[in-house]
Amino acid sequence: MKRLKEICKVILVYFFVYVFSALAFVAMFHTPLLKSLHVLMYRGIVFVILSGIIGGIILAGIKHFGKENWITLKDGFIVFLYCCCINMVFFTLVPVTVERSISVFMLSYMENSQEVSFNKDRIEEVFIEKYIKEYEAFEKRFNEQIITGNIQKNNDGSYQITEQGKTIAWCFRFIADLFGTDKRLLYPELSVKTEKGEIQTSYY
């Protein structure tokens, strides 16, 4: 019975620490902290690490003020890791999806226009005109790759992928092979225009 109480106490402390870590993680997005970092993904990664550190600090406070001698450095490391892991999973599954997902845009647009009847062609037209052009979705993603160093601008005004970008592309393809995902985005066809017309050269 005593052992069970000790286990429940540890679980309760860990849960308490994570709740405050998660609240701090969300709160950081409402502060000016790293506002100059325009890529949500990278700003969020920094906040994930900070939330883990906050979790460790809270646990240290519980040890100091609550006289909980069972808390050791190992517990602080575990708390840091699990706060980071849970917050990172939540961040990539929800906020990043909301910020980037085509599905989110499509469902939100249809929900805001319930009085309108849509067919597939109309939805596709709205996606191109509003999501791609008006909201500058491509330009935003393209600039992100320049900021993160995956693409660089040449002196003649053209762009090319960097060695870092090639490494990331290789990692994406490896993951696609590992999990058997749709590879069309990872091996797109290259459209080459010539004097005789257009030739499609596949990388796949």
Same domain, 198 and 178: yes
Q: How confident is the model at residue 204 (pLDDT cuts 50, 70, 90)?
A: very low
Same domain, 55 and 120: no
Q: How confident is the model at residue 191 (pLDDT cuts 50, 70, 90)?
A: low
Same domain, 138 and 92: no
Per residue in 77-132, pLDDT tens?
999 999 999 999 999 999 999 988 889 999 999 999 888 888 899 899 999 999 99
Same domain, 79 and 162: no
How many domains is the chain partitioned into structurally? 2
Same domain, 122 and 75: no
Q: Which of 61, 80, 100 is the last residue of a domain?
A: 100
- Token output for 1: 């019975």
Q: How far apart are CA 67 and CA 62, in angstroms?
A: 7
Range of the domain at 86: 2-100
Name the residue among 11, 59, 51, 61 with its Cα closest to residue 29: 51
Q: Which of 82, 100, 118 is the last residue of a domain?
A: 100
E-assigned strand segments in the chain: 151-153, 159-161, 189-194, 197-202
Query: Looking at residue 162, what DSSP letter applies?
Result: -
Same domain, 56 and 111: no
Q: How far apart are CA 14 and CA 77, in angstroms?
A: 12
Same domain, 40 and 128: no
Q: Which of 81, 100, 119 is the last residue of a domain?
A: 100
Q: Does this model's pTM top 0.85?
A: no
Q: Over the range 54-77, which residues count as b (16 or more CB within 10 Å of their CB) and which as e?
A: bbbbbbeebbeeeeeeebeeebbe
Q: How far apart are CA 162 and CA 146, in angstroms?
A: 10
Same domain, 79 and 130: no
pLDDT of 145 strictly over 70: yes
Same domain, 134 and 197: yes
Same domain, 114 and 28: no
pLDDT score, position 166: 96
Q: How confident is the model at residue 2 (pLDDT cuts 50, 70, 90)?
A: confident
Same domain, 15 and 57: yes
